Structures are given as structure tokens and as C-alpha cells.
Amino acid sequence: MGFTVAITGRPNVGKSTLFNRLLEQRKAIVDNVSGVTRDRQYGVADWNGKNFNVIDTGGFVPDSEDIFETEIRKQVKIAIEEANAVIFMTDVSTGITTLDESMAEILRRSTKPVFLVVNKVDNSERQLDATEFYSLGFDNIFFLSSMSGSGTGELLDAITELI
């Protein structure tokens, strides 16, 4: 099946936007409404002649907070099992949330490589805000604007180094 990377993170952080950018084609539906991507999306990314599978997770958005937390934890565990490496996506515009912390706790225990992505780093002010994400405790940290594509090259370099 080849090398597989799963994109995890709470709703609205920009997982589907990054997924589309990595594929450079619109296979997932991206929308302002969270949970528009109902199911998992699978695609193949190509970077400097190296291919890998990408999974966009987390389309399901339950309405209760408790179920929400349980569902997100389940998604992370499935992603860790299914993939060779995990992109853990966060959002600088909201800062670190309790859901981010609870996902980080699971992912820090993973034996698979984790790439922490701080997304929506669109400008220099947000670059300063983004430094708080070092506190989540991941060595592989990338600052991206998935919307513009800035930072994605460094992330792709790091992923393809593992292949």
C-alpha cells in the first residue's frame, strides 16, 4: 500500500485545506462549515518523485461535548494504527485548546512519527503567536498557511525523508 500519512486535528483547523494542497487537486470538500468532509478522504501526494498516501480524517462532528471528545480520541487512535506517520494539525488563530491538549497526550505516546503543524500562520504577527505551540512537546513542528501554501515544502521534505 505504500507510506501513509494521516492528517488529524479538531474540526476547522484546516485539515482538508492541507489535504487538497498536498494533492493539488480538489478531492475533499472544503467549506466554512465544520464537518463538511463527512468521511475519510484518501489521496496520493507526489513530492520530488516520491509518492505517499494521505488520509484526511475527522469529518464526523457530534453535537455533544462528551461524545465529541470521545470521537476525536477514537479518530486519533485509528489514524495512528492506519498510518506510518501522523500530521497533528492545530490552529494559531484559536491558540491551544483543551481538545488539542487531549489529542497531544495520545500522540506523544505514539511510536510513529508525529508532525505538529500549526496552521493559519498567515502573517508575521501570527508567527509570534505560534511559538506557544512548542509547549505541546513535539520536536517536529511546522508553521503553515495551508491556504497560501507557505511552509508546506518544509513539511513535505520532512515527510519524504522517512520514505
Taking CB under 5 A as the criterion, the residue among 8, 37, 75, 146 binding Mg ion is 37
List the one residue from 16, 20, 41, 75 that touches Mg ion (CB under 5 A): 16
Closest CA to 118 of 140, 135, 141, 98: 141
At residue 151's C-alpha, the angle toward residues 88 and 111, to 5°, is 30
- Closer of 36 and 162 to ligand GDP (Cβ): 36
Report which residue type is found at 50. K
Residue 91 CB burial class (10 angstroms; 0-12, 13-18, ≥19): buried
Q: Which residue of 120, 136, 138, 159 would you call a contact of ligand GDP, by CB under 6 A?
A: 120
Do you know the residue count of the chain? 163
Q: Would the CA dihedral through 42, 28, 160, 112 be positive or negative?
A: negative
- Judged by CB under 6 A, the residue of 119, 136, 143, 155 near ligand GDP is 119
Q: How many contiguous H segments (helices) and E segments (strands) does the chain have?
A: 5, 6
Looking at the Cβ atoms of 72 and 136, the one nearer to ligand GDP is: 72
Other CB atoms within 10 Å distance of the CB of residue 50: 15
Nearer of residues 30 and 78 to ligand GDP, judged by Cβ:
30
Q: Among residues 41, 90, 146, 152, which is the contact residue for ligand GDP, using CB under 6 A?
A: 146
Q: How far is the CB of 44 from ligand GDP (least distance, A)?
A: 19
Residues that bind ligand GDP (CB under 6 A): 9, 11-17, 30-32, 34, 37, 119-120, 122, 145-147
- Which amino acids are annotated as binding site for GTP, given as ranges? 9-16, 56-60, 119-122
Residues that bind Mg ion (CB under 5 A): 15-16, 37
